[in-house]
Each structure stands twice: as C-alpha cells, then as structure tokens.
Amino acid sequence: MIQPAANPFDKISPTALMVAHARQFTDIPYTQALATLVDARSAFDQLLSQSSALPLDMAVMIEGRYKAINQAMAEFAPTQILELASGLLPRGMVMTQDPNLIFVESDLPIMLSRKQKLVQQLVGDRPNLHFAVIDVTAQPSQFPIDAYWQPDQPIAILCEGLLMYLDQTEKQRVFANVRELLQIYGGVWITSDLVDLESLHRRREISPALRQVGAMIARISDRSKTECYFDTFEQVQQFAHQQGFQIQHQSMLNIMPQLTCLQPLGINPKIAEALLADSFVFTLRLR
C-alpha cells in the first residue's frame, strides 16, 4: 500500500490531537468518540509533558471558535460548504445529517486519510459528505471546482486553526485561492484564524497556561509567531482589504451562554468571559 507523501505542514498535525482532547469536554457531537479513537489524551500528555500547568483554558477557545463559526454560518444558511484543514473537526459529520447539504472536508493527504477512516467508523457512508486533498497554499489552486458544487448556489468556506500557522506569503496564496472560488460561485468565507499579537498577548496575560501552549505549538510546528501573526487588529483589516475582501468581525463573547466546558474542567467563568471578549470570528466577502 502506497503511503501519502509527507508535506512540511504535516508538522502541524499533532496539534489536531491536542485540540481533539480539549474538544471532548464540550457538548459538540462526536468529539468524545473521536478523542477516544485517536487516543488524544496520550498525545495531549506527551505534548505537554514539560508544562507546569495544564492549559484547561484552551477548551474555552476551542469550543468558542467552533460555535462562533457555526453561529456566523447560520446567518447565511448555506447549502454548500468547504472546510479547509478540517483535521479532526466533527462539523462535516454533524451537518451532513441534513441530506440536502453538500459538505466537503479538505486536508493534507495523511490527515485526510485518517479522517476518512474515522468518519467511516462513526457514521458510515454519507453521500453528501466528501473528502478532497488540498494544500491550501498551493498554486495553481487545488480547491475543487465543479467536482461537488451546484453552480447556481453560493459556497460557505470555513476554517479554524489554520491561518495562524502560515506566514504572510502563504496567507496571500490562501486568500487568492479562496477569492478564485468565490468569484466563480459566490458566497462567504468564515474563519476565526486572523489573529493579531496585541489581542493574543492580552489573552495570554489572562491565562498564562495559554502562553505555554503557544510556545509548545511553535516548537512542534516549527512556525514562528512573528511570521504567522498580524501585529495589530488594524493590520488584519488592511490585509484582507488588500486581498480583495470586505471583512466584518464579531466578538465570541455572545457564545458564552453556549459554553459547556467550564463545569467539567473547573474553569472560572470570569476567565472564560475575558478570553472570549478579546477573540473574534471573521466574515469575508468579495469586494
């Protein structure tokens, strides 16, 4: 059996296991089963073996961004969805319970092959759930055209936990690829990934354990935060505008009543509120 070829971005994949471990302490469907099947706890313990404190607060960010993206997406009621770098996210399995919705999960070959097997174990075949190998930074674009989409219906493109691993040149390529797809079909791009250092530093002051997580992720992914984050929120807006997008943002604080990870992990609600107030979900449309 031929194994999928490695990609430099595969170094980021272990972070999906850490996130899967945190996500299982929420009410998001399939997350406990996914965490068990991939033994996310062992990966979490191994990655954080040198940390002085368990970063339980990260569950706030993980649950918050998932639900904030879902909330933003609900405003558009899309019938066609492309999720970039879907990793171990359960969104495809959850949403394709609606047979009228087309959902395409994408990732690099190694992760996507693993995800397909997990989906098969958990829900079997779903004719409206598809899998596409995509390197989001590749040019010419690897984004699927015509393979899955209805030409008269717009597309919602989603990503969470992707862009903060990419430098500015790589981000420009992703924006170009998204722009190309939206120019053909129309639609919207929803993401939580346009992170700036000013807000990131504030969150890490609120939760020092998140600082340890950031250092660990930078180490295992070999991606420098100075290359992969924007300096300020204004820089985020300027960058999106330069790439041909209108951009709107919404604080994740309105997700606070939906959080379910606080009680099982003993997280202080005041900490959770402060973290979510300084975190955002972004909606991008073509200018």
Rg over CA atoms, the chain: 18
The confidence score (pLDDT) of residue 145 equals: 85
Q: Helix (H, G, I), strand (E, B), or coil: what is residue 88? A: coil
The confidence score (pLDDT) of residue 2 equals: 37
pLDDT along the chain (287 residues), means of 10: 47 76 95 95 74 74 97 96 97 97 96 96 97 96 92 95 92 98 97 94 87 71 71 96 98 97 94 95 98
Q: Please, what are the domains in the chain?
A: 8-286 (3.40.50.150)
Q: Tell me whether strands 102-107 and 129-133 are parallel, antiparallel or unpaired.
A: parallel
Q: What is the DSSP letter of 96?
A: T
The confidence score (pLDDT) of residue 49 equals: 65
The confidence score (pLDDT) of residue 227 equals: 77
The confidence score (pLDDT) of residue 3 equals: 45
- Reported pTM: 0.92
DSSP strands (E only) in the chain? 80-83, 102-107, 129-133, 155-159, 187-191, 245-251, 280-286
